[in-house]
């Protein structure tokens, strides 16, 4: 840093550095304050957009949120000490707002919407739902096909990207979804692979003893599949949580020998 010059001819470098640091700190704190206010405004705009059924309101609030997000990103680009690491709340609100805008757009045009099927990632979910996860269809809601038992998945509006909507804003990841393994990637990740193979075993019609052996083998086939067994203790518990009736198998199983000391 350069030494500030005064009419007296100058000041010691150490004093000059303290002065400059103080000025930089003030500027930095101002940028932090501005960024904080922008985050609040963006969340508020997106919140309004998600709770409105008026096309114009949703559209204008998304546009305003876009402008303020660009401003926020500019501040972060200019100041490396400000890092935008958590878009959690804005991500959820933006996705809801986009969903609302898409629905309103199609309602306005009275046109067929684009739909995507989302399976629920649970041990009890029939394989038919898992196989149709990600299926896309363009049709009216009344023309959507019924898949399985109606509890293993559901149709949702397929959300376009911000770019597809003509909005120049940072794209958010699709995030995660709930499952009986906890939070997992929205595409199912490794658990989708496990569930497809597991449900093939469950729905094969084989006897419970053989089913237990095959589930044990499945859990041992991949390290990440082993996590499922660790979470549920054993193959029998996994089957019970998949709503498989194992009562007869448990009754026929010999009691464990008690160790004597």
Task: Check pLDDT > 50 for residue 5.
Answer: no
pTM, to two decimals: 0.56
Name every residue whose Cβ is closer than 8 Å to that of residue 232 and which is 6 or more positions away in sequence: 238, 241
Predicted confidence at residue 9, as pLDDT, reads 40
Residue with tokens 């193979």: 197
Q: Give, for 64, the enclosing helix (H) or strand (E).
A: helix 55-78
Task: Check pLDDT > 80 for residue 261.
Answer: no
Chain-centroid distance, C-alpha 76: 24
Kindly report the number of other CB atoms within 10 A of residue 147's CB atom.
19
Mean pLDDT of 69-96: 71
Mean pLDDT of 7-17: 40
CA distance 57 to 49: 7
* Percentage of the chain modeled with pLDDT above 70: 66
Nearest to 93 by CA among 67, 57, 120, 65: 65
Q: Under DSSP, is residue 82 helix (H, G, I), strand (E, B) or coil?
A: coil
Q: In Å, what is the CA distance from 88 to each residue of 46, 95, 173?
A: 13, 11, 10
Task: Check pLDDT > 50 for residue 90.
Answer: yes
Kindly report the number of other CB atoms within 10 A of residue 62's CB atom.
23
């Amino acid at each position: 840093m350069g030494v500030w010059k005064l009419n007296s001819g100058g000041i010691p470098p150490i004093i000059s550095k303290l002065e400059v640091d103080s000025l930089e700190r003030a500027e930095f704190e101002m940028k932090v304050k501005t960024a904080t206010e922008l985050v609040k405004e963006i969340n508020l705009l997106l919140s309004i957009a998600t709770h409105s059924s008026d096309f114009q309101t949703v559209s204008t609030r998304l546009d305003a949120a876009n402008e303020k997000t660009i401003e926020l990103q500019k501040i972060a680009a200019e100041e490396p000490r400000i890092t935008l690491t958590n878009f959690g709340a804005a991500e959820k609100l933006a996705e809801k707002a986009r969903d609302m805008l898409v629905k309103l757009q199609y309602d306005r045009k009275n046109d067929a919407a684009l739909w995507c099927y989302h399976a629920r990632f649970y041990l009890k979910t029939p394989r038919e739902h898992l196989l149709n996860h990600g299926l896309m269809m363009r049709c009216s809601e009344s023309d959507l096909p019924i898949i399985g038992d109606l509890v293993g998945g559901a149709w949702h509006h397929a959300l376009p990207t911000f770019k597809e909507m003509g909005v120049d804003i940072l794209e958010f990841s699709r995030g995660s979804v709930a499952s009986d393994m906890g939070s997992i990637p929205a595409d199912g990740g490794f658990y989708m692979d496990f569930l497809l193979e597991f449900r093939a075993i469950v729905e094969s019609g084989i006897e419970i003893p053989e089913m237990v052996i095959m589930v044990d083998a499945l859990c041992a086939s991949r390290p990440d599949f082993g996590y499922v067994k660790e979470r549920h203790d054993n193959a029998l518990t996994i089957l019970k949580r998949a709503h498989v009736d194992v009562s007869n198998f448990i009754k026929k199983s010999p009691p464990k020998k008690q160790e004597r000391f």
